Amino acid sequence: MRTRPRPRRLASRPWTLPVLAAAAVAAGLLTAVPHGPAARGGPDGAAADGAAGRLAAAGAPQGKARPDARGVVLAVHGGAGTALRRDETSPEREKAYRDGLADAVRAGKKVLDRGGDSVSAVEAAVRSLEDNPLFNAGKGAVFTADAGHELDASVMRGSDLAAGAVAGVRHVRNPVSAARLVMEKTPHVLLSGEGADDFAAAHGLEPVTQDYYWTQARWDALMAAKKKSGGARSAATLADEQAKGTVGAVARDEKRDLAAATSTGGLTNKLSGRVGDSPVVGAGTYAKNSTVAASATGDGEVFLRGAATATISNLMEFGGKDVASAAYEVLVERLPKLGGDGGVIALDRKGTFDAPHSSEGMLHAYLTEDGTIVTKIFPDETPPNT
């Protein structure tokens, strides 16, 4: 039985942030439709899955960009990777993941149903995922190499390009809410480390100890990563697959304003002070009303170097591409050259939605205008378009 590491006060460290942004997104799949038995039914829509969906996914054309769905108002992701395989996942575990994604969608839907704006909707959806220990954000954040937790998050508003982010926070329960406070209460975009923790507490976010983030699964993943690495450090030894996952959300409100948010615990066994793409505007998160709201997940260093989400927007704005075509170009034509994989959820003002990825799988869900919630967690539901 693994023993729980004692909570400890970590000394302040200088914080640096890569300024190159990131590249990776994937090509479109077929237009998604509700399918199969509900993972969790309810009056506000059903989470869909089943044989029909697997057959539809299997028939998706490869090497071609097509949007997943139309008429989408909100979507979430729970990370890119290969952690969930149909033949190795119990019905109880499958239900837990589908429920977690559907609950996040419902949290955002409640905001939109009462006339709330898209920023509030993505914040609510991401907070739900941060509070769920299944996902690598908030409560379920992975461990750094020195057995600590350092969390990153960002949020962006499409109507005026306002943005806020936090990096390397150690005592914030919901980093996405701290990121929104940075956007709304300061002239800055990004706060990091101890200063970000202090700022969040000063603005009413109740601090938590490092022990709050501890879970047995993440501790075991750290031990496995250290055993695998044998002291050496490389991208191949940095994480269990699900630890690649960030969480994120995109939404459009009744005014058709877009917003996006992303949150993560980073990589298992990462060096303390490492910052990935999630808190970087234009890499892990981007929203612009005239183009796209996008939240990314995957190899953060690659998303940073290729300015992934901003590139999708730029291809739409200056290249005249649609959501799926822009995402395809970033992921399939650009990302492999940088040596990494991942995915993105991308939504435009018309409700065209795409969830492309170059990783084997990506956990995600979306809400359509008629109230239907669709969840996708297995690779055979969302095959990579490469």
Catalytic center residues: 246
DSSP state of 88: G
- Nearest alpha carbon to residue 140 among 219, 248, 208: 219
Pairing type for strands 190-192 and 247-252 reads unpaired
**Residue 101 and residue 376: Cα distance in Å, rounded?**
9
One-letter amino acid of 69: A
- Nearest alpha carbon to residue 229 among 270, 265, 266: 270
Strand order in the sheet with 342-347: 285-287, 293-298, 342-347, 353-354
**Residue 348 and residue 135: Cα distance in Å, rounded?**
26
Rg of the chain, C-alpha, whole Å? 19
**Residue 67 and residue 324: Cα distance in Å, rounded?**
5
Q: How many CA atoms lie within 13 A of 225 on its CB side?
A: 28
- Residue length of the chain: 386
User: Following DSSP, what letter does each residue of 198-262 receive, concatenated?
Assistant: HHHHHTTPPB--GGGG--HHHHHHHHHHHHHHTT---GGGS--GGGG--EEEEEE-TT--EEEEE
